Amino acid sequence: MRPTLVFDLDGTLVDTAPDLVDSLNECLVSRGLSPAEEKDIRHLAGHGARVMIQRAFEAQGKLDDLTDDALNALLERFIGHYEANIPGRSKPFPGAVESMKRFADEGWTLAVCTNKFESLATHLLEGLGIRTAFATVSGSDTFAFRKPDPRHLTETIAASGGDPKHSLMLGDSRTDIATAKAAAIPVVAVSFGYSDVPIAELQPERIIDHFDELTIAMADELLTPKQ
């Protein structure tokens, strides 16, 4: 059985925050609000567009203006702007593409499990020229459930022809770590993503500061059943 390495996308494999902030700011300016700064909003990038819009309105004391209809219209505007600009300024994190090659060369199957819409995730990976490296790309709308529901992860592995007992998850957020733990799959966390808390507090099996630290030896050790 080939082992499976499942990557989260935003904040783990690809640094998408600059483009998410651009799309958010286009929405804010369209409603007469001030643009947000990336450093203030980066930790929200992993929570999706809805939360980013809500928090930005809240920060400017304009939450009362954000009716459900206004929020839905802005959400559509955000996604439209984001989609039209893919891949924009987004780039794989340093060493990410090399690590994908390292694991593929060792016989691992690669997959992506993200809470982005599947079409946006696919479009982004195609734009970066790395879509074909992954057996499966599943998004928040691929199944009837999404992270932190562990089935999002286990069904991604199943769709890739893998087995959860021979799988490893790589993520940057509370959601990723909760998903992997609920699925009883070891999880390596990256320290450079969009977590709003220090990642160590979430107790992943390992933490890496750079993709070079994600070695085959580390992965094999995590897949070895504990005595």
Ligand X SMILES: O=C(O)COP(=O)(O)O
Q: Which of 3, 4, 11, 154 binds Mg ion (CB under 5 A)?
A: 11
Chain residue whose CB lies nearest Mg ion: 11
Give the bridge partners for 168, in sequence order: 5
| Nearest distance, CB of residue 226 and ligand X, angstroms | 28
Catalytic residue among 8, 15, 19, 176: 8
Least distance (Å) from Mg ion to the CB of residue 219?
19
CB of 206 to Mg ion, least distance (A): 17
Strand 4-7 to 109-113 pairing: parallel
Contacts with ligand X, residue ranges (CB under 6 A) = 8-11, 46-48, 114-116, 173
Query: Strands 109-113 and 136-138: what pairing?
Result: parallel
Q: Which stretch binds Mg ion (CB under 5 A): 46-54, 102-110, 119-127, 184-192?
A: 46-54
Strand spans (E) along the chain: 4-7, 14-15, 91-92, 109-113, 136-138, 167-171, 187-190, 206-208
Is 114:121 a contact under the CB 8 Å cutoff?
Answer: yes
- 8 binding Mg ion? (CB under 5 A): yes
Q: Tell which residue, 62, 142, 39, has the closest CA to residue 27.
A: 62
176 is catalytic: no
> Please, which of residues 154-183 interact with Mg ion by CB under 5 A?
172-173
Q: Is 48 in the site for Mg ion (CB under 5 A)?
A: no
Residue pair 55/44 in contact (Cβ under 8 Å)? The answer is yes
Quick check: 15 binds Mg ion (CB under 5 A)? no
What is the binding site for Mg ion (CB under 5 A)? 8, 10-11, 46, 172-173
